[in-house]
Amino acid sequence: MSGRASLLLAIVVSLAVGAALPGLFGKLRGPAAPADAGGESSVPAEVDGLVKLSPEQIEASKIGTLVAGGGVLKRQITVPASVKPDPDHLARVASKVSGVVAEMRKKLGDEVAKNETVAVIDSREVADAKSEYLAALANFDLQSKLFTREKGLFEKKITAEQLFLKAKATFTEARLRLDLSRGKLAALDLSESEIAALANQPISRLREKELRAPIKGRIIERLVNLGQPVTAESQIYVLADLSEVEVELAVPIASLASVRRGQPVFLKTPQGRTLEGVVRMINAVLTPETRTGHVVAMFANPDQLLHPGGVLNAEITLEQSPVKVLVPRGAVQLIHNEPTVFVRVKDGFRKRAVELGDGDEGFVEIVKGLAPGETIAVENSFVLKAEAGKSEIPEE
């Protein structure tokens, strides 16, 4: 019995010593570290979405910033556009007399001033009218002198009243003939200054009829050549004042109902400049072949960048709505399927999830998560997205 009792005593002592060892070793090592609540790795994680960057690093990464604020959302459509002269700034130079083209002083594309001579017509009709006027003018001068003489003699009782009345009638007839001949020249489009200068004009130029530009503009058509016979209805040149042009827009039927007079239209020129015009007219007649509506817009063209016949693309702003916070689309990055912006802070940028609203091609509304006046990254924000992603990778 004594051997069995000794074995039991040894087992009990062994168990007591094993239970006491962990506590003894723990005291030797010091207090135990608290266990991680989530049981995850103890590698330091990103603090509140902060991406630390110095000003030098921000400049080197070419990260552009912008102060968030209100703006206007636009809904636009892009449509084909063709440039044409404005009918209100278009003029045609007609011959107005029968004859032959003697001079063509302007070429296609030349600029002309108002009342500048652009062509000369050799016309027998003009020569006859000028000769008739000069004859009437000479006769009028003569009869005017005779009438003045007879009037003086009659007042002095030297001549009879019958001679005075006859001289008066002849003078009146001469004045009437002069007025009629002057009117004929005016009908042939001779100005008062041209008529006044006829008395001193060489005989060789009596057949010439100068054609003058009715407006300031550019030659866009030349319709005759030297030596070509013309009539009073013949057109010589077509002029266009291109300081303002008309642009025809082919708008799809689906968008035609949203187009209104006065809406802005933007046109990009081949030189890279953007011009702004307005819708002036909406034609209710549709084009069956293309199923589009005919819309006309007017554009100021002071630098002559738009040329008749040019085909470009135009953007029509259909609707505009103001929003409180509007940012460029490039400022928004998608992180973990959440729209995110990077807000500038003292030590760099802090990523912040936001809620998006409506948007257009270049901008988007921030409904929640960003206040007006906060500065955000708008250029190269993908660099911040990459840096934020690095901090989320756990270390081995």
Q: How many residues does the chain have?
A: 396
For residue 27, pLDDT over 60 is answered with no
Mean pLDDT over each residue of the chain, to the nearest integer: 83
Average pLDDT value for residue range 234-240: 94
Beta bridge partners of 208: 122
For residue 194, pLDDT over 50 is answered with yes
Residue 288 is predicted with a pLDDT of: 72
Topology of 76-87+241-321 in CATH? Answer: Elongation Factor Tu (Ef-tu); domain 3 (2.40.30)
More confident residue, 164 or 340: 340
For residue 130, pLDDT over 60 is answered with yes
Residues whose CB is less than 8 angstroms from the CB of residue 351 and which lie 6 or more positions away in sequence, other chains included? 49, 51, 335, 340, 341, 342, 343, 384, 388
More confident residue, 103 or 25: 103
Residues of the chain with CATH 2.40.30.170: 76-87+241-321
Q: Which range has the top average pLDDT, 39-48, 72-81, 158-167, 227-236?
A: 227-236
Topology of 91-238 in CATH? Answer: OB fold (Dihydrolipoamide Acetyltransferase, E2P) (2.40.50)
3-state secondary structure of 61: coil
Question: CATH assignment of 50-73+323-391?
Answer: 2.40.420.20
Rounded CA separation 320/375 (Å): 25
Residues of the chain with CATH 2.40.50.100: 91-238
Residue 298 is predicted with a pLDDT of: 94
Q: Express each pLDDT in 264-289 by its tens digit.
A: 899 988 888 889 999 999 886 777 77
For residue 41, pLDDT over 60 is answered with no
Asked if residue 129 lies in contact with residue 186, where contact means CB atoms within 8 angstroms, the answer is no
CA proximity to 251, closest of 282, 277, 289, 278? 282
Cα 61 to chain centroid, rounded: 35
State the pLDDT confidence band at 237, using cuts at 50, 70 and 90. very high
> What token pair was written down for 310?
């040019």
Residue 309 is predicted with a pLDDT of: 87
Asked if residue 372 lies in contact with residue 324, where contact means CB atoms within 8 angstroms, the answer is yes
More confident residue, 370 or 5: 370
For residue 22, pLDDT over 70 is answered with no
For residue 393, pLDDT over 60 is answered with no
Q: Which range has the top average pLDDT, 155-164, 301-310, 324-333?
A: 324-333
Contacts 24+ apart (CB under 8 A), 187-193: 188/96, 188/97, 188/125, 188/126, 188/129, 189/96, 189/97
Average pLDDT value for residue range 218-246: 93
Residues of the chain with CATH 2.40.420.20: 50-73+323-391
Q: Express each pLDDT in 242-258 by its tens digit.
A: 999 999 998 888 888 88
